[in-house]
Amino acid sequence: MKTEEKLSPFHSVILIHMIQTGVALFSLPRVLAVQFGTNGWLAVFLFGAIVAIHIWLMSYVYRHSGGRSIFDILEQSIPKFVLSPVYIGLICVWAMLCCLVSKEYILIFKMVAFPTTNPMIFELVVNLLTLWLLGMGVYNIAKAATVFFWFVIWMVFLLTFFYGEFRWARLTPFVFQGGELKMKELYSIYAAFFGYELVLLLFPYANPQTKLMRAAMAGNGLTVAVYLYTCLIAFGFFSLQQLKEMLFPVLDLLAYIKLPFIERIENLLYGFFLFTILITAVMYVWSAKEVSRRMFPRIKGGVLGFIILTLAYLVSYIPDVLSEVLDWLQIFSVIEFWIAFGLPALVGLVLLVQRRRGQPSNG
Amino acid sequence: MGNRFAVCLSLLTMAALSGCGDQRILEKVGFTQTTSYDLLPDGRLKIAVAIPKADPEAELSRQLLTTTALSSKEARINLSRQTNLILVSGQMRNTLYGLSLAKSGLWNHIDTLMRDPSISPQVKVTVVNGDAESLLKKNYEQHPRTGKYIDRLLEKEAQEQAVPKVTLYEFARNYFDDGVDPVAPIVKDDGDSVIVDGIALFRDDKYAGRIEPGDSIIFALLERDFKKGEISIELAGEEGKKEIVMFSSLISSRKVEVGHGDAGTRTVNINVDVKGSILEYIGRLKLSDDANRHELERKISEHLSSRGNQLVGMMQEKGTDSLGIGMYVRNSMSYAAWKKLNWREEFPDVQVKCNIHVKIKDYGKFR
């Protein structure tokens, strides 16, 4: 019964959007201001377009995969011992991304609300939640993502709160002036869009009705829209130089909100972001688990997930302050960037070779 | 099922217990409401905090602690030694800076406040004409506790445009912007009350001058769009007689136009449209008569425009672009040209013209 279930188009859109949205949003306006200078928010378009092109390229792979998983395709033409190091690499990177993303979130939370509590306790709680969600399988994760989506997306309306102080004059008519482009930082901007590449692993869980690639496009479109709106508000609300000095401008935006009956609600609002972090984290560890099942087909998925999360949790003990976590994330973002481009390229290439040789595309 | 329940329970327990690390129990916490900063002649800071008391049995409604220190965070440690409460700044509403400190620069203190994640960006920045600590220390019998009193006073006055609303966010934003200088409201002790004493103009973060309370509304007209506000005007009438107009419920919108002359000269026109009701008029004109009313509109417009020009002239003299004219000049030129321009030096020489145009919406229920 269960194996016949397929992802619905709407759930897939939301799932992709929820994997993409994460902690990177908190610093995004600042990074854009530092890198691009005036009207840096426009750069969201550029990055969104790169992602869109990339998804379009992946749709080639999807069309010719015939619904097979990318691992089936790879293993058909490449011997397993050659693939093993690639698989191990993927497991490591995705497992680490899962833990680093949640750890960054927790360290920010700790800075704001619980300055002296050991963050690893929170990390453990979040990891347990992740593990629990992981055990439910990808269909239920997608459904959970849809529920979580409604918990988070309403916050976009909070941005109307800033219309009063927003000034177009503050945006200046200059486009991309006074920034310093650094390759390293560009990766971290791109990292705010990461997550769409995991669509590669969803092939076997979709059918033609899912319109998986269109869903990925729409999910990315939604992410771009939310980022664009948030960054536009930040650029018109803060002055450029101020924005460059703020570590987490979106957190400052949240802190500014003051209702007649309550203020300083940023901790509460920040709490809602846990939902997006949870989906991001669970999908990365799910991906790592999917890969590891290829390597250890005899061990049950749940056990593999547990082992991966435990190992990643132990490794995430090493970077223990925010700046270290950010450094680690930077490194893993660069690796993930190349995985996001390299993996579909590899699969595409293999597919091309298989088609040339006339091998069946339907396994 | 049982398994799931166990997981749920353990998660809940852990989530709840992890909160025990950083406890805040209401009765044990002292919420700083207002902090005052003064610069002492020896370069040290005199810092005072006002803490409202939660204890209903306490005789005094607030605690006031004072210390001297080199920095505000060092002061917090000193202050903490004087009290049984854990001092926290999460509910801080206002910061008062003595004139002595404002003259030597505020940025270091604002930076400290912005850096602390427990402090809201909506904390007000206020300059005290005189000694901030003695203002905060004083009890004003007819009014609420001093900290709360000043906070509410400023909030209400800001709603009516008598002072600009200036919080850490606004101060920092304008401090960093290259086309505008920060401002802050000034208050002073007036015997039985605290009184708003105009607007402090800053050059970067240093106090450079002030706008008289009577001109605050003119500043508001030139600085932003607003609804709600009032102004009392004294017009020169015929035969040396004065005419008095009270213009209320103002709705104002402004536009800034920048023109570039051939020889590199710049002209700035600040065009303001104000609509309002007349609540008081003592003079010879008949308000129900259209021609008379238009004449009055013209007279008020001229009067306000000339006061606007004077105000801008004063700011140019002090070298503080508190109206943000630089923002509009910047936006009218290329990025390279703006970067080459030293706006600070250029600003006093720019020709600024205020055109305030007044329209009388209504004149009350009397002809």
Q: What is the mean pLDDT of residues B257-283?
A: 88
**Closest residue on chain B to A174 (Cα):** B335
pLDDT in tens, A114-171: 778 888 888 898 999 999 999 998 999 999 999 999 999 999 999 999 998 999 999 9
Q: What is the mean pLDDT of residues B231-238?
A: 83
Residues 6+ apart with CB under 8 A from A162: A233, A236, A237, A253, A256
B174 CB within 8 Å of a chain A CB: yes
CA of B173 vs chain A CAs: smallest distance (Å): 5
Residues 6+ apart with CB under 8 A from A250: A25, A26, A27, A28, A29, A230, A234
Half-sphere exposure of B20 (CA within 13 A, CB side): 6
Helices (H), ranges, chain A: 9-20, 24-36, 43-65, 70-77, 80-112, 119-134, 137-153, 168-171, 183-191, 212-237, 240-245, 249-256, 266-272, 274-295, 301-315, 322-357
Q: What is the mean pLDDT of residues B322-339?
A: 92
B324 CB within 8 Å of a chain A CB: yes
Is the domain spanning A8-355 CATH 3.40.50.300? The answer is no
Q: Are A177 and A27 in contact (CB under 8 A)?
A: no
* Structural domain spans, chain B: 24-211, 213-367
d(CA A311, CA A294): 18
Instruction: Provide, as residue numbers in chain A, all residues whose Cβ is less than 8 Å from the Cβ of B327.
Output: 169-170
pLDDT value at B25 more than 50:
yes
Residues 6+ apart with CB under 8 A from A331: none
Best of B13, B176, B223, B327 to substitute, by most chain A Cβ atoms within 10 angstroms, is: B176
Cβ–Cβ below 8 Å for B91 and A264? yes
Instruction: Provide, as residue numbers in chain B, all residues whose Cβ is less than 8 Å from the Cβ of A132.
Output: 7, 11
Pick A264's closest partner by Cβ from B22, B120, B175: B120
Buried b / exposed e over A237-251, threshold 16 CB at 10 Å, is bbbbebbbbbbbbbb
Q: What is the mean pLDDT of residues B171-188?
A: 94
Best of A107, A114, A233 to substitute, by most chain B Cβ atoms within 10 angstroms, is: A114
Domain spanning B213-367, CATH architecture: 2-Layer Sandwich (3.30)
B90 CB within 8 Å of a chain A CB: yes
Give the angle B10-B14-B20 at the CA atoms, nearest 5°: 150
Tokens of B267: 């002209």
* Residue B275: strand, helix, or coil: strand
**Closest residue on chain A to B225 (Cα):** A164
Q: How many CB atoms lie within 10 A of CB B116?
A: 14
* Structural domain spans, chain A: 8-355
**Closest residue on chain B to A265 (Cα):** B120
Lookup result for tokens 């693939």? A83
The pLDDT of residue A4 is: 66
Pick B327's closest partner by Cβ from A116, A122, A170: A170
Instruction: Provide, as residue numbers in chain A, all residues whose Cβ is less than 8 Å from the Cβ of B334.
Output: 174
% pLDDT > 90, chain B: 55
Average pLDDT across chain B, whole number: 89
Q: Are A30 and A39 in contact (CB under 8 A)?
A: no
B172 CB within 8 Å of a chain A CB: yes
* Residue B355: strand, helix, or coil: strand
User: Angle A322-357/A43-65 helices, nearest 10 degrees?
Assistant: 40
Q: What is the mean pLDDT of residues B274-297?
A: 88
B117 CB within 8 Å of a chain A CB: yes
Residues 6+ apart with CB under 8 A from B307: B215, B218
Instruction: Provide, as residue numbers in chain A, all residues whose Cβ is less than 8 Å from the Cβ of B10.
Output: 128
Q: What is the mean pLDDT of residues B253-274?
A: 89
Cβ–Cβ below 8 Å for A114 and B22? yes
Own/partner pairs for A308-311, CB < 8 Å, 24+ apart? A308/A91, A308/A95, A309/A95, A309/A98, A309/A99, A309/A127, A309/A130, A309/A131, A309/A134, A309/A285, A311/A95
Q: What is the mean pLDDT of residues B103-110?
A: 92
DSSP type of residue A204? G
d(CA B135, CA B48): 10
**Closest residue on chain B to A267 (Cα):** B118
The pLDDT of residue A359 is: 65
Lowest mean pLDDT among A30-44, A87-101, B22-36, B147-161: B22-36
Cβ–Cβ below 8 Å for B18 and A117? yes
CA of A50 vs chain B CAs: smallest distance (Å): 28
Tokens of A128: 């347990």
Best of B4, B12, B22 to substitute, by most chain A Cβ atoms within 10 angstroms, is: B22
d(CA A23, CA A262): 25
d(CA B342, CA B345): 6
d(CA A117, CA A106): 11
Give the angle A27-A32-A35 at the CA atoms, nearest 5°: 120
d(CA A184, CA A334): 8
Confidence of residue B130 (pLDDT cuts 50, 70, 90): very high
pLDDT value at B16 more than 80:
no
CA of A352 vs chain B CAs: smallest distance (Å): 47
pLDDT value at B125 more than 60:
yes
Residues in chain A where the model's pLDDT stays below 70 = 1-4, 359-363
d(CA B145, CA B138): 9
Buried b / exposed e over B232-269, threshold 16 CB at 10 Å, is ebebeeeeeeebebebbebbbebebebeeeeeeebebe
Q: Check residues B165 and B18 and name the one with the higher pLDDT.
A: B165
Cβ–Cβ below 8 Å for A256 and B176? no
